[in-house]
Structure 1
Amino acid sequence: MVGTPHGAVRGRYERGIAVFRGIPYAAPPFGALRFRPPRPPEPWDGVRDAGAFGPTAPKPAYSEAFAQYLSDPVIPGDDCLNLNVWTPEPGPGARLPVLLWLHGGALTRGSSAVPVYDGSTFARDGVVCVSVNYRLGVEGYGLFPDAPPNPGLRDQLAALRWVHASIEAFGGDPDRITLCGQSAGAISAGVLLAAPQARGLVRRAVLQSGAPEAVERDKVRRMVRRMAGRLKIPATAEAFAAVDRAVLLRTQAEVGRLSSPVLGGPAFGMVVDGDLVPRDPLKALTEGSAAGDVDLLMGWTRDEYRLWLVPGGLVDHVDRLGAVALAGAMARCHAGHDVPRGYRALHPDAGTAEIVGQMVTDHLLRVPLYRLADARPGTSHLYEFAWPSLLPGLGACHALELGFVFDSGDVPESRKLAGEGAPQELADAMHSAWVRFATSGAPGWAAWDATHPVRVFGEGEPYTAHGPRDAEIDLWPAARAVPEPVPASGARAPGAELAAAVRRLRRSVAVRHR
């Protein structure tokens, strides 16, 4: 039994690890609290049972094309602002390092109950692991005239504050919290690092396949307006709160099919709000005005784009579209013609899908992470995950590294993406690097400097390469500056013909993902 600020909880011992699941860190975000910032939970009397995962946030199911690779459990209930703790030594005095995990899922899917995120392996190795649920989709990231922005991000901040205030009772050290996330979770972690309200709460951070960003407000508004149009209601929080939750999720999924990581489109994301996100988070972090004392571990997978394009056969489809797909990628990345020409020269045997995929991956991930590392040499460490899945076509795709980081390759949900027979020695290497980083800030290879060391986790022994992506990164005019949402110097702005081509490609992506 462990005491929390709102009442005592009783967990379970599982293979020598104390596990506490479904602890509320905030009140259920429904009724009068819907679309509002999180509030503290009601205190409870007696001892609350913490043996099972709590409810997950409302979310649509993955399409059939993605569900064959990704698991996303649904646990019904309104009390979805909850977290889980795995610890080897519950009770004050141990002061172990803490890893706080924010799941991915494009801010529309995912939860802390995904079996791949089993924190027992971190606890086994002396790190208290905490995983968090937060509001998703329109509930967490809709933009309305009658409600505050970014409620899902505010949930994450509330969870971080809970951990900082409460984790010592579970054996953790509140001064050694590593904020860790993948994909949307990494973007969230980066935005929180730049938030003034989070200052002093985080000692280290891990950004896996996601870079700090704030999206254009109009991009989020378009999602809300399209949903409102289908529902025939005003685009207000009050009107959305009156819609049946299942109908709202179905409408969100239908509208979301028009968006794609490769070609963009309207989407949910965090926006500059003048409060929690007072300015562009990447600028805040690279210009030294935020989280200057936080150690960083950042990286990507070699073939991120393959999870975006392989399901439903989109790789072949993009290859067939050729110039249209390249035009769409240029518009997505605000890139001039020199950028795809440069990729063609560097990778003459690559198909259109690979060129498009790597361009978008660099634009979204590698360029901003390079800039962040350049701004923080000596305290940043970079990696690339390069082991290819044993399933056809996936390569070293987005999210594949998760089963290795958590050393959870033995669960069926990891094998859905990795296939049968993933190398345990690779999991040992990655997991131990994350443990070392959470413990000391030193994962086991050189910190970023002018030689650009990148640890490569692939087939065989991990090794350090120097500048393995420099040639591609140098193709981007803004590689050493924060990009603006306008075409690169010398490029023509996308005209009506290009915009129409992008729309056709987006519709094709939507149809194939149904």
Structure 2
Amino acid sequence: MNTRRNFIRTVGASSALMFLPGTMLPFGYNRWDIPEEWVEAEISKGKIKGMRSAGVNIFKGIPYAGKVSGDRRFRRPGPLVAWTGVRDTYELGPPAIQGPRRGEPAPAEDCLFLNVWTPANDGKKRPVMFYSHGGGFVIGSGGSGGQDGANLARNFDVVVVQTNHRLGMLGFMYLDELGGAEYAGSGNMGLLDITEGLKWVNENIHVFGGDPNNVMIFGESGGGAKTSCLYAMPEASPFFNKASIESGPGVRMMTKDMAAKNTELVLNEFGFTKNNWKKLLEVPTDEILRVQAKIPFVPPFQEKKNTGGLTEPAVGGFGPVVDGIVLPNHPFDPTAPNISKDKPLMVGWNEDEYTFFAWERKDTEFATLDFDGLKSRLEPQFGADTPKVIEAYKKARPEASPADIFVAVSSIVMMGLGSVEIAQRKAKEDGAPVYLYNFGYKSEKLIPGTDYPMGTPHAMDISFKFNNEQPPKDGEPDRPSFFGGGRPERFTASHNMAAYWTGFAKTGTPHAEDLPKWPEYNLNSRPTMRIDTKCEVIDDRFSQELAMWREIGRLP
């Protein structure tokens, strides 16, 4: 199995399962969001009403840009029209077109809404944490329960913002060569929507007690890849100051030629030609989803020797396009983007990323592998290099079982090699610092059908970094976390991760009281912060394994 390719193909579908809200009231209420009073604010387009709950002002479903349906499909948003009176903003806005989402409104083409959590609308200049959701480039929303921003705002005195933005075909259909100037940037509309959200923050966040001159962008999985692109985009550059790429290293994106071939594939599926491509503007959204489902969720990036990380994608899929304008270059290839040279960066991954995909795919076979079986599972991806891969991991981890080695190899290929590549290239730039991490808190929950624990799967970091792993209150029983398990130690690990992230948001240096100092990554000692109930700096982590990956050309 080609782990990288299969991961990229399935991340969109599986990410629907990443963000399972808890018990919900009307759209977007978490069980702790009980309104104590209504709060009004005046922003650039009119007055809004949100709610105050347990020390946090919450505004949901704020429109940040205009129409993207009808004649605006595949184009930049229409102007946002001001409103009169007071607009209610205490329920989520609709997410982008996709399947139904539990606890959220029905998806809609006009989906440009955002949510804000703040300790107070008091004029204070708090750091702003602007999050891009996961789900590859085809699903997800800024209203998912696990990434609720109330605890970060409440416990760490920051302002949290999350957007809905166009996804899939509607967000990343490359029509520049067919539509001309009117459709310039069409292959990156999803990213340009996020940029509109950043512009909204720059104009309005002071009303919510946030500092428009201290904005951190961050995101996990597909949100990490979006963040990688934003870090390299001239239009986004003026509106953020630092970034964090989490389990979603976007080293390379689609080229124009690949995107054009993908467009041709879509036209063929609909029975359209290049001469009548504008019929796409009339296609109902359910038909768009039907055709979209026939195409890989995001570009199935292939590994190429001597380049490493996310490299040349095959034709097919929807994702950002290196169009030379909106996204001038690949985000981190061949170098880190000079446009963000002076912006601090965090990048990293979870230690056991693959166990999420084993759970999602119902892969129980990996847990019973012997070494012959391990060789058979890895050979389709690594070919003649398979013995070198296995021997390197057996030598570096003499106590590891074949299943352990399979999880470790799959996890680092999915998310680790690209993260290390980004850290290396940012460090070589000799500008603002880069900080490399591994999240390592171990969940005791077993993968169904196996005796193998989840460990630290893909997406488990979401609820941890948002400080949503919290002790029960008011006599409630402790409800085990969906991935994180039921051990009370998870509350400490969640506090630690949230503390480092908010420390980075405040100063550009990940720091927290009573936690170890986190040194910037360099090409000599190569320090990595391992985040758990106890955090520790590990120099040149995975050195033996990474040496092997370099030897076989999977990492520069």
* TM-score, normalised via structure 1 length: 0.82
Question: 2:327 matched to which residue of 1?
Answer: 277
CA contact (8 A) 1:366 1:473 kept: no
2:339 match: secondary structure: coil
Question: 2:527 matched to which residue of 1?
Answer: 453
Give a deviation string over 1:92-118, Cα, whole Å, max 9, x none. x31111111111111111101101111
- Equivalent-residue separation in structure 2 for 1:414 and 1:32 (angstroms): 47
The one of 345, 353, 359 equivalent to 1:310 is 359
Q: Which amino acid aligns with 1:41?
A: L
The one of 180, 200, 220 equivalent to 2:238 is 200
Stretch of structure 1 that moved more, 154-163 or 374-383 = 374-383
Are residue 469 (structure 1) and residue 469 (structure 2) matched? Answer: no
Cα 1:79–1:177, aligned 2, differ >3 Å: closer, same or farther?
same
Matches within 5 A, 1:416-495: 416-421=482-487, 423-444=490-511, 445-449=518-522, 450-458=524-532, 460-477=533-550
Q: How much has 1:335 moved relative to structure 2?
A: 8.1
Q: How much has 1:232 moved relative to structure 2?
A: 3.2
- Equivalent-residue separation in structure 2 for 1:83 and 1:469 (angstroms): 39
Cα 1:167–1:82, aligned 2, differ >3 Å: closer, same or farther?
same
Q: Percent identity?
A: 26
- Equivalent-residue separation in structure 1 for 2:197 and 2:552 (angstroms): 34
Question: 1:84 matched to which residue of 2?
Answer: 115
- Equivalent-residue separation in structure 2 for 1:109 and 1:414 (angstroms): 26
Q: How much has 1:395 moved relative to structure 2?
A: 2.2
The one of 365, 388, 391 equivalent to 2:445 is 391
Q: How much has 1:417 moved relative to structure 2?
A: 2.3
Question: 2:35 matched to which residue of 1?
Answer: none
Q: Which amino acid aligns with 1:383?
A: Y
Q: How much has 1:167 moved relative to structure 2?
A: 0.8
- Equivalent-residue separation in structure 2 for 1:324 and 1:219 (angstroms): 32
Q: How much has 1:421 moved relative to structure 2?
A: 3.6
Give a deviation string over 1:342-367, Cα, whole Å, max 9, x none. 44654564347433443343344333
Cα 1:193–1:75, aligned 2, differ >3 Å: closer, same or farther?
same
2:245 match: secondary structure: strand
CA contact (8 A) 1:282 1:482 kept: no
Q: How much has 1:178 moved relative to structure 2?
A: 0.6
The one of 370, 393, 400 equivalent to 2:460 is 400
2:545 match: secondary structure: helix
Question: 2:27 matched to which residue of 1?
Answer: none
Q: How much has 1:336 moved relative to structure 2?
A: 9.3
CA contact (8 A) 2:47 2:87 kept: yes
CA contact (8 A) 1:26 1:41 kept: yes
CA contact (8 A) 1:19 1:87 kept: yes
- Equivalent-residue separation in structure 2 for 1:257 and 1:195 (angstroms): 23
How many residues align structurally?
470
Question: 1:45 matched to which residue of 2?
Answer: 84
- Equivalent-residue separation in structure 2 for 1:6 and 1:258 (angstroms): 35
1:474 match: secondary structure: helix
Are residue 301 (structure 1) and residue 350 (structure 2) matched? Answer: yes
CA RMSD of aligned residues (A): 3.3
Q: How much has 1:57 moved relative to structure 2?
A: 0.5
Q: How much has 1:282 moved relative to structure 2?
A: 0.8
Are residue 8 (structure 1) and residue 47 (structure 2) matched? Answer: yes
Cα 1:33–1:476, aligned 2, differ >3 Å: closer, same or farther?
same
CA contact (8 A) 2:375 2:386 kept: no
Cα 1:376–1:426, aligned 2, differ >3 Å: closer, same or farther?
farther
CA contact (8 A) 1:60 1:250 kept: no
Are residue 136 (structure 1) and residue 188 (structure 2) matched? Answer: no
Q: How much has 1:16 moved relative to structure 2?
A: 2.0
2:231 match: secondary structure: helix
Q: How much has 1:296 moved relative to structure 2?
A: 1.4
Give a deviation string over 1:426-481, Cα, whole Å, max 9, x none. 111111111111112222222223322211123x4121111213333333449999
1:473 match: secondary structure: helix
Question: 2:32 matched to which residue of 1?
Answer: none
- Equivalent-residue separation in structure 1 for 2:380 and 2:103 (angstroms): 30
Are residue 210 (structure 1) and residue 243 (structure 2) matched? Answer: no
Are residue 291 (structure 1) and residue 343 (structure 2) matched? Answer: no
2:61 match: secondary structure: strand
- Equivalent-residue separation in structure 1 for 2:292 and 2:265 (angstroms): 9
Cα 1:413–1:440, aligned 2, differ >3 Å: closer, same or farther?
farther
- Equivalent-residue separation in structure 2 for 1:98 and 1:408 (angstroms): 18
Question: 1:267 matched to which residue of 2?
Answer: 317
Q: Which amino acid aligns with 1:26?
A: A
Are residue 56 (structure 1) and residue 95 (structure 2) matched? Answer: yes
CA contact (8 A) 2:57 2:121 kept: yes
CA contact (8 A) 2:445 2:485 kept: yes
- Equivalent-residue separation in structure 2 for 1:156 and 1:478 (angstroms): 39
Q: How much has 1:28 moved relative to structure 2?
A: 2.7
Give a deviation string over 1:112-147, Cα, whole Å, max 9, x none. 110111111122121011111111111111223334
Cα 1:407–1:473, aligned 2, differ >3 Å: closer, same or farther?
same
Q: How much has 1:72 moved relative to structure 2?
A: 8.1
Question: 2:19 matched to which residue of 1?
Answer: none
Question: 2:129 matched to which residue of 1?
Answer: 99
Q: How much has 1:243 moved relative to structure 2?
A: 2.2
The one of 419, 423, 437 equivalent to 1:365 is 419
Q: Which amino acid aligns with 2:464?
A: F
